[in-house]
């Protein structure tokens, strides 16, 4: 790695420092002012913060989720054996041709027609949740609304009982802490135990579905494809765990972040009426969702390995096997890409974001995630048009998963 970094292109920022966790965008502004690759000393790798560069690397086959074949990753420690097994066939840990083969099978569950068929179920789930707390006049939104709606979607998609929801959430919360690169040994052990229990649960479900298949994703993955080829149980299990851990966690925090943003950007009165009008129209409601995903995304850092010697800039060269950090949250606020990048503008002419990635690893559940967010926001604000945030709201101590610890709301009951 070319590490000839000077104070001009180096930052020092503990990713667990409370002030940074609560507002990473201040650091991103510094990075944009520095221009070009920035060496994040606390992590020990070069990072890209501008939209064009992050977008380009996500689409560049000279970069991959895995290191070059002659530089395999060191195995996880023995106390992470179950977690390692759960991740072995994850789409996020594969490259072509294995990635292509597995993603093609999963893609069939996310075609737009099938996703749109879930609209009524998502609306019904959102309304049921509000029915349960509407008369109270206040609610903690993450636990009562933002978590159960996507959980209901994922259990329906996988074809597992709703009664398993609490266990799925507990396993997911434990496992995703390892993705932050700041986990403790105890958190690793908890993640490993969760992975083992999750895998055992899914093996039982898969066995049941072999004898009684349904119309769900697991049944689809179990069945042979048109050529008669099948997936292994371990591959199916990794797919299911990824859909919950990545899809559910990101959707929960994106919904929480979106409501937090909208209640502040559109206070009661004329601004709130303007928001209600935006959400009432499907096209402008989609624009609101896209801008929420740009403005305060739940995932801020993706990693890629250079597969060969690559010049990031005139004075920064990566060698094969070097990692580069792609700062999605910073790219979404890039002043070279977005006019008034730090201003929330749902009807902006330069709309866009990288919150769902790009290239071959673009989020496979993107259409479903956008649909969930749009419906959840539409139902919430139409049913509770006077809702406001109450108290103080802190983001979780997990930089990679930029989501609120809780979101207290109140309204005129």
Residue 406 contacts residue 258 (beta carbons within 8 Å): no
**What is the 3-state secondary structure of 290-305?**
HHHHHHCCCECEEEEE
Domain edges within the chain: 7-405
Least confident range of 56-60, 264-268, 396-400: 396-400
Task: State the Cα–Cα distance between residues 307 and 310, nearest whole angstrom.
Answer: 8
Instruction: Kindly state the average pLDDT of the residues 49-63.
Output: 97
87 pLDDT band (50/70/90 cuts)? Answer: confident
Residue 122 contacts residue 388 (beta carbons within 8 Å): no
86 closest CA partner among 213, 243, 223, 218: 243
Domain 7-405 has CATH 1.10.630.10: yes
Bigger pLDDT: 374 vs 248: 374
**pLDDT value at residue 29:** 96
182 pLDDT band (50/70/90 cuts)? Answer: low
**359 backbone dihedrals φ, ψ, rounded to 5°:** 75, -155
Q: What is the pLDDT of residues 126-136, one digit of tens each?
A: 999 999 999 99
Instruction: Kindly state the average pLDDT of the residues 311-338.
Output: 95
For 48-69, give one letter per residue: b (16+ CB within 10 A) or e. Answer: bbbbebbbebbeeeebbbbbee
410 pLDDT band (50/70/90 cuts)? Answer: very high
Bigger pLDDT: 196 vs 226: 196
Residue 313, strand partner residues: 316
Task: State the Cα–Cα distance between residues 261 and 25, nearest whole angstrom.
Answer: 14
**pLDDT value at residue 106:** 83
Give every CB contact of residue 334 below 8 A, 6+ residues apart in sequence: 32, 49, 50, 51, 52, 341
Please check the confidence at residue 320 and state whether its pLDDT lies above 60.
yes
109 pLDDT band (50/70/90 cuts)? Answer: low
**pLDDT value at residue 118:** 86
Please check the confidence at residue 24 and state whether its pLDDT lies above 90.
yes
Task: State the Cα–Cα distance between residues 302 and 324, nearest whole angstrom.
Answer: 9
In Å, the largest CA–CA distance within the chain is 63
350 pLDDT band (50/70/90 cuts)? Answer: very high
Phi-psi region of 245 (alpha: psi -120 to 50; beta: other; left: phi over 0): alpha
262 closest CA partner among 285, 292, 284, 294: 292
246 pLDDT band (50/70/90 cuts)? Answer: confident
- Report the SS3 class of residue 164: helix
State the pTM of this model. 0.91
Please check the confidence at residue 1 and state whether its pLDDT lies above 60.
no
Tokens of 346: 């749902």
Average pLDDT across the chain, whole number:
91
Q: Where are the beta strands (DSSP E) in 18-155?
A: 38-40, 45-48, 63-64, 138-140
Task: State the Cα–Cα distance between residues 61 and 307, nearest whole angstrom.
Answer: 8
Please check the confidence at residue 4 and state whether its pLDDT lies above 60.
no
Helix (H) or strand (E) holding 187: helix 185-211
Q: What is the pLDDT of residues 73-83, one digit of tens each?
A: 888 888 989 99
Share of the chain above pLDDT 90, in %: 64
């Amino acid at each position: 790695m070319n590490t000839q970094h000077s104070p001009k292109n180096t930052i020092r920022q503990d990713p667990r420092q409370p002030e940074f966790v609560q507002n990473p965008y201040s650091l991103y502004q510094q990075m944009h002012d520095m221009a070009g690759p920035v060496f994040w000393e606390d992590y020990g790798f070069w990072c890209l913060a501008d939209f064009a560069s992050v977008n380009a690397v996500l689409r560049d086959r000279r970069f991959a989720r895995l290191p070059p074949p002659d530089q395999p990753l060191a195995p996880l420690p023995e106390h992470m054996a179950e977690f390692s097994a759960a991740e072995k066939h994850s789409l996020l840990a594969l490259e072509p041709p294995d990635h292509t083969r597995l993603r093609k099978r999963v893609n069939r569950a996310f075609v737009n027609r099938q996703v749109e068929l879930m609209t009524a179920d998502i609306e019904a789930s959102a309304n049921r949740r509000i029915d349960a707390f509407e008369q109270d006049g206040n609610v903690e939104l993450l636990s009562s609304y933002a978590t159960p709606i996507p959980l209901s979607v994922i259990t329906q998609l996988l074809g597992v009982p709703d009664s398993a929801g609490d266990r799925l959430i507990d396993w997911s919360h434990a496992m995703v802490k390892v993705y932050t690169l700041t986990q403790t040994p105890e958190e690793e052990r908890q993640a490993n135990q969760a992975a083992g229990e999750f895998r055992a649960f899914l093996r039982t479900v898969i066995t049941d579905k072999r004898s009684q298949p349904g119309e769900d994703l697991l049944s689809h993955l179990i069945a042979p494809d048109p050529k008669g080829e099948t997936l292994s149980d371990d591959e199916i299990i990794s797919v299911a765990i990824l859909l919950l851990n990545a899809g559910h966690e990101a959707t929960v925090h994106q919904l929480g972040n979106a409501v937090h943003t909208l209640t502040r950007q559109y206070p009661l009165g004329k601004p709130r009426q303007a928001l209600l009008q935006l959400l009432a129209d499907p096209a402008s409601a989609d624009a609101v969702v896209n801008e929420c995903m740009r403005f305060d995304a739940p995932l801020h850092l993706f990693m890629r390995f250079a597969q060969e010697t690559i010049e990031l800039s005139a004075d920064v060269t990566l060698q094969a096997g070097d990692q580069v950090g792609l700062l999605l949250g910073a790219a979404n606020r890039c002043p070279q890409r977005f006019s008034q990048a730090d201003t929330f503008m749902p009807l902006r002419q330069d709309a866009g974001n990288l919150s769902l990635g790009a290239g071959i690893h673009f989020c496979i559940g993107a259409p479903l995630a956008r649909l969930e967010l749009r419906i959840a926001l539409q139902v919430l604000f139409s049913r509770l048009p006077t809702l406001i945030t109450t108290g103080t709201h802190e983001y979780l101590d997990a930089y990679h998963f930029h989501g609120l610890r809780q979101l207290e709301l109140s309204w005129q009951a």
